[in-house]
């Protein structure tokens, strides 16, 4: 059996777009979320581990929320779940928040740091590094109906669409897999999170990419 770890933020966790203003956000059912859909596509020869957290960043400590730094928790997660055949990494959307003040290129640098941690780890089979698939997250959408949310993400619509070129360059430099989700999906009603149909499309595309990577 091969093991796949999905390391991401609220779009890996399965945040329901319509619950953006709720004090207790709703979560898509497991089989609807893209890691769950991925597990169904890959079949019984694979174990898919879902590791998503709302608000998770690449390498930044959020002054408004505790324990959101992906870099800080990644080593423990890799250690906990090894041996891993492949890691799917999709982070960067939360780095677009005004509180961090970083450029698209700097966000990609954060992804590169995480990728290098994965590719230099002993979390794979026989103490070797696992293979890696980097996903560029979906572009953020318009949020005129959610002014408080939009204020946290100034210029994010434009800057999020600049991410693919930088993410692809990181993947090329490191020799790992890459998938630009912006060619496949768009966020739901809140301009950030995925609806059920987008989760299904993403899960299907990731499954196809994983099969190619692991067959190489």
CATH of the domain at 148: 3.40.50.1110
The answer to whether 38 and 6 are in contact (CB under 8 A) is: yes
The number of domains in the chain is 1
- Note the pLDDT of residue 96: 97
Q: Please write down the long-range contacts of 148-151, taking CB distance under 8 Å and 24 or more positions apart.
A: 149/20, 149/190, 149/191, 149/192, 150/191, 151/98
**What is the Cα–Cα distance from 90 to 69, expressed in whole angstroms?**
14
H or E segment to which residue 30 belongs: none
> Cα angle at 97 between 93 and 102, to 5 degrees?
90
The answer to whether 199 and 14 are in contact (CB under 8 A) is: yes
The pLDDT averaged over each successive group of 10 residues in the chain (216 residues) is 98 96 93 97 97 98 96 98 98 97 98 98 98 98 84 93 98 98 96 97 98 93
Q: Which domain holds residue 182?
A: 2-215
**pTM of the predicted structure, to 2 decimals:** 0.97
């Amino acid at each position: 059996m091969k093991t796949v770890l999905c390391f991401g933020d609220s779009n890996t966790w399965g945040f329901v777009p319509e619950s953006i203003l709720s004090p207790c956000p709703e979560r898509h059912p497991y089989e609807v979320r893209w890691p769950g859909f991925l597990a169904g596509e890959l079949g019984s020869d694979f174990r898919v581990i879902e590791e998503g957290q709302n608000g998770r960043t690449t390498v930044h400590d959020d002054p408004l929320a505790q324990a959101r730094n992906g870099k800080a928790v990644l080593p423990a997660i890799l250690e906990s779940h090894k041996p891993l055949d492949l890691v799917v990494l999709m982070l960067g959307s939360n780095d677009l928040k005004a509180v961090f003040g970083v450029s698209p290129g700097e966000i990609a640098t954060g992804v590169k740091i995480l990728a290098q941690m994965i590719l230099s780890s002993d979390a794979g089979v026989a103490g070797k590094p696992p293979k890696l698939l980097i996903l560029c997250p979906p572009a953020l959408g318009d949020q005129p109906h959610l002014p408080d949310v939009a204020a946290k993400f100034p210029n994010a619509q434009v800057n999020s669409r600049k991410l693919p070129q930088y993410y692809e360059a990181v993947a090329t430099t490191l020799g790992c897999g890459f998938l630009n989700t912006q060619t496949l999906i768009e966020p739901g009603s809140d301009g950030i999170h995925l609806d059920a149909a987008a989760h299904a499309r993403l899960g299907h595309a990731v499954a196809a990419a994983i099969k190619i990577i692991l067959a190489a």
